[in-house]
Chain A
């Protein structure tokens, strides 16, 4: 069996030549041992559960080991001297509280590398005990019978805090992990703020050129052109960019599979045309339709094409290696992203130019004068337990502990070092925090009033907000902030500046589904490629706008119609 697996893994390695090195070195040595555990597991399961009487925070009597795969940001150096990803304040806390030993069997960089490694682990059936996966991966694993059913374990072991957070999503989180009525993984729950993409703009540039904050797409185009041509950085050279766009491999807009946190996309411009490419919408006849083939998208693309041609949008849209680079170096004046830009990339931007006054607005507005963003599913990441792992409840205990103690952690060591961490946040965390912290500044509330279950960071925020925000409290311009403690500034700026647009009224548009259907598993990649390629070519002037009509036909022919039918069935069922 082991030989077959090796053979398989190596076959992939040979076929996908570039990855030869990775696969052969990454052959985890414990592949055999985890499988041997299979037989013993079945026998052990019940007595363990009975003996512990299902305590969500229960400490194991004898040490339990979790084998995990970890994604780490390669530029992160927050671990103190002597600590390792396997032995740091978080893993020690876990050992102390739960008697769980963390063993990292492989590490990758965050993002694409991690996804690839997980895909490879799935293909070679050599999974870590606990693994964080996305929707497509979870589907594949359920189909292959590689994950443990967590229905009962969740009932018994989930802490009230986690159950409460999941319930608040009105079934959205559970839907994402339920297959044939069984719960196959733990869903994460992110704050709604991650889903709303707003306009970030250099207010100091606006002031310098004597411009107003653009309200409509027309205004936006004018401002962006002025930014590109009016030398707002005052160096005498036409080297500035109006609207910065996504990098190579980035997304032009969030879609129903990755519905939030699309930094540097052009989502708000699309939604200003009431166009929601990549989302499943309700058509006029009440049946599901795919957003990308709607006439509104054609309109939006035509406008984007004009804006690109006139220089309002970054020329190197989708070619640039690092989308944040022009923002960091002070060459871009507008971009779109969620509330948390204060964490990234703005700290680097203000380091280079302390006067860079980035402000965020719920703009541009659509033809009805409303801000109509697309909204996300709260659950995009899932914590799955390998089939046959002896202690599936360890997954829940880890998350219970995380939610309970997160506020107590010293987060100068990035929380990503907490093994298999998925985010649990109340959906309205940002809006709620912003309102509460305003009261703290006004003196009507103190940190002691804000120890509210679920809002785990709020009390801590309340004690720190005074250090970052300077008077006057109702003006968020960059000169009224103390940036000495950049960690605190990041969070406060994100909440106050990034969170402010979340309090504005908005017309929310949800996708009908947020996961793949059967046919999508084989056809979607191809359809998505067709879409990305066509749209980029239209915007960047490599293809006429009429290509859109052909795209709609091709999309339907190449499996789109079938997929639409399946979505219709799923929405009905």
Chain B
């Protein structure tokens, strides 16, 4: 059954990808030694002074560390939940539509924002939520005092999560819609004949039919739990919302690129990588257990 030469062909095709991976992801990893050094760019990473865990000690003394770690997890978890549930509900609703043309149009329109970069979208969002922007005008019509949304640390995480879900849900909907098409229509007919209402059919036929997809997506997204979205937050935040909006990536950016604290930034980045690695391993094990999803 196995054809050796056919496999070699595949490996050849894999080669460019592997080279890319080694060059851009494996080789640079040697740089993590910076986290244990007082990095001196003139001396390079092999000759800089070793200082052991000093960077990590300082990192844990900083009150910022706890804040950014909490913010990162909080925002990322909310995003994961939002990005699972909203597209699911939306896909189920779309699936119930009878007019195919409406379905196609809606589907296309809601996934358009996915293709816009956060640099552009953040500009739009800042205007929409501005003190004299459309949202405040609408609120004003109901007698609500204008709110300065981007100055409110208590609202910031939700604006971030909300806008991210709004941007991405159309795209994720497609995955669910694809899964929905794989359900055998005979099941619906049988259920209808047995007298199941629409809601019942949804509950007993549709949902069980796509459970595997839901679990798989949920479990795989765990690996992203420390990626709260650098571009989005970087383009929207300001000092007033640092307390609830500053995440590991923005912190690393400021420490490393703006303040020249290379070693400290690397240490924080390393911490993030280690935690992410553990989460990915766990999520892989869960995926293999519940959704029978295996890579190796």
**Which of A's residues lie within 8 Å of B, judged by CB?**
1, 3-8, 10-19, 24, 112, 115-116, 119-120, 122-125, 136-137, 140-141, 143-146, 239, 248-249, 315-316, 318-319, 321, 387, 521-522, 524-526, 529, 532-533, 536-537, 540, 542, 558
Nearest Cβ on chain A to B243's Cβ, whole angstroms: 7
Which of B32, B151, B239, B265 is most buried by chain A, counting CB atoms within 10 A of its CB?
B239
What are the 7 tightest A-B residue pairs by CB atom distance, in nearest-first order?
A11-B31, A144-B42, A11-B28, A15-B269, A525-B259, A10-B28, A145-B42
Nearest Cβ on chain B to A310's Cβ, whole angstroms: 15
- Complex interface: chain B residues within 8 A of A124 (CB): 41
Is the Cβ of B130 less than 8 Å from the Cβ of A10?
no
* Given A10-B28, A123-B41, A526-B64, A249-B238 contact (CB < 8 Å): yes
* Given A145-B42, A529-B242, A12-B64 contact (CB < 8 Å): no
Is the Cβ of B31 less than 8 Å from the Cβ of A319?
no
Sorting the interface of chain B by its residue count into under 10, 10 to 19, 20 to 34 or 35 or more gives: 35 or more
Cα–Cα, bound, A248→B122 (Å): 13
- Complex interface: chain A residues within 8 A of B265 (CB): 15-16
* Given A8-B44, A125-B44, A18-B234 contact (CB < 8 Å): yes
Contact with A along B24-60 (1 / 0, CB 8 A): 1101111110100001111111100000000000100
Is the Cβ of A13 less than 8 Å from the Cβ of B238?
no
Is the Cβ of B239 less than 8 Å from the Cβ of A7?
no
Is the Cβ of A116 less than 8 Å from the Cβ of B257?
yes
Does B252 belong to the interface (CB within 8 Å)?
yes
Does B74 belong to the interface (CB within 8 Å)?
no
Does B12 belong to the interface (CB within 8 Å)?
no
* Given A16-B257, A321-B123, A525-B254, A7-B28 contact (CB < 8 Å): yes
Cα–Cα, bound, A532→B238 (Å): 10
Is the Cβ of A315 less than 8 Å from the Cβ of B131?
yes
Q: Which of A18, A318, A526 interacts with B239 by CB under 8 Å?
A: A318
- For this complex, 7 residue pairs linking A to B, each with C-beta atoms less than 8 Å apart, are A10-B27, A15-B252, A116-B258, A123-B260, A137-B260, A315-B131, A526-B64
- Complex interface: chain B residues within 8 A of A316 (CB): 130-131, 148
Does B261 belong to the interface (CB within 8 Å)?
yes
Nearest Cβ on chain A to B292's Cβ, whole angstroms: 32
Q: Which of B28, B152, B243, B255 interacts with A533 by CB under 8 Å?
A: B243
* Given A16-B257, A137-B260, A536-B239 contact (CB < 8 Å): yes
- Complex interface: chain B residues within 8 A of A13 (CB): 28
- Complex interface: chain A residues within 8 A of B230 (CB): 17-18
Cα–Cα, bound, A122→B45 (Å): 13
**Smallest CB gap from A319: residue in B:** B150
Is the Cβ of B259 less than 8 Å from the Cβ of A321?
no
**Smallest CB gap from A1: residue in B:** B44
Is the Cβ of B240 less than 8 Å from the Cβ of A542?
yes
Cα–Cα, bound, A318→B45 (Å): 38
- Complex interface: chain B residues within 8 A of A3 (CB): 27
Is the Cβ of B238 less than 8 Å from the Cβ of A319?
yes
Cα–Cα, bound, A125→B47 (Å): 13
**Smallest CB gap from A146: residue in B:** B42
Q: Which of B28, B249, B258 interacts with A119 by CB under 8 Å?
A: B258
Interface residue ranges of B1-43 to A (CB < 8 Å): 23-25, 27-32, 34, 39-43
Cα–Cα, bound, A8→B32 (Å): 9
Cα–Cα, bound, A122→B234 (Å): 23
- Complex interface: chain B residues within 8 A of A532 (CB): 239
**Smallest CB gap from A10: residue in B:** B28
Does B132 belong to the interface (CB within 8 Å)?
yes
Does B94 belong to the interface (CB within 8 Å)?
no
Cα–Cα, bound, A524→B40 (Å): 19
- Complex interface: chain A residues within 8 A of B23 (CB): 10
Cα–Cα, bound, A537→B234 (Å): 19
Nearest Cβ on chain B to A284's Cβ, whole angstroms: 31
Is the Cβ of A558 less than 8 Å from the Cβ of B240?
no
Nearest Cβ on chain B to A570's Cβ, whole angstroms: 20
Does B231 belong to the interface (CB within 8 Å)?
yes
Cα–Cα, bound, A15→B130 (Å): 32
Q: Which of A6, A137, A318 interacts with B238 by CB under 8 Å?
A: A318
Does B221 belong to the interface (CB within 8 Å)?
no
Nearest Cβ on chain B to A329's Cβ, whole angstroms: 12
Is the Cβ of A542 less than 8 Å from the Cβ of B153?
yes
Contact with A along B243-270 (1 / 0, CB 8 A): 1000001001111111111101110010
Does B112 belong to the interface (CB within 8 Å)?
no
Is the Cβ of B41 less than 8 Å from the Cβ of A18?
no
**Smallest CB gap from B153: residue in A:** A542
Does B100 belong to the interface (CB within 8 Å)?
no
Does B197 belong to the interface (CB within 8 Å)?
no
- Complex interface: chain A residues within 8 A of B148 (CB): 315-316, 319, 540
**Smallest CB gap from A124: residue in B:** B41
Is the Cβ of B252 less than 8 Å from the Cβ of A146?
no
- Complex interface: chain B residues within 8 A of A16 (CB): 249, 252-253, 256-257, 265, 269
Does B62 belong to the interface (CB within 8 Å)?
yes
Nearest Cβ on chain A to B146's Cβ, whole angstroms: 8
Nearest Cβ on chain B to A567's Cβ, whole angstroms: 19
Q: Which of A7, A136, A524, A526 interacts with B62 by CB under 8 Å?
A: A526
Is the Cβ of A4 less than 8 Å from the Cβ of B239?
no
- Complex interface: chain B residues within 8 A of A318 (CB): 151, 238-240
- Complex interface: chain A residues within 8 A of B260 (CB): 119, 122-123, 136-137, 140, 521
Is the Cβ of A540 less than 8 Å from the Cβ of B240?
yes
Does B126 belong to the interface (CB within 8 Å)?
yes
Which of A1, A24, A524, A526 is most buried by chain B, counting CB atoms within 10 A of its CB?
A526
Q: Which of A18, A537, A542 interacts with B253 by CB under 8 Å?
A: A18
Given A524-B259, A525-B258, A525-B259; 20 other pairs, CB 8 A cutoff: A10-B23, A11-B34, A12-B257, A17-B249, A18-B249, A19-B253, A24-B24, A116-B258, A136-B259, A137-B260, A248-B238, A316-B130, A318-B239, A319-B126, A319-B238, A521-B261, A522-B58, A522-B264, A526-B64, A542-B240
Does B63 belong to the interface (CB within 8 Å)?
yes
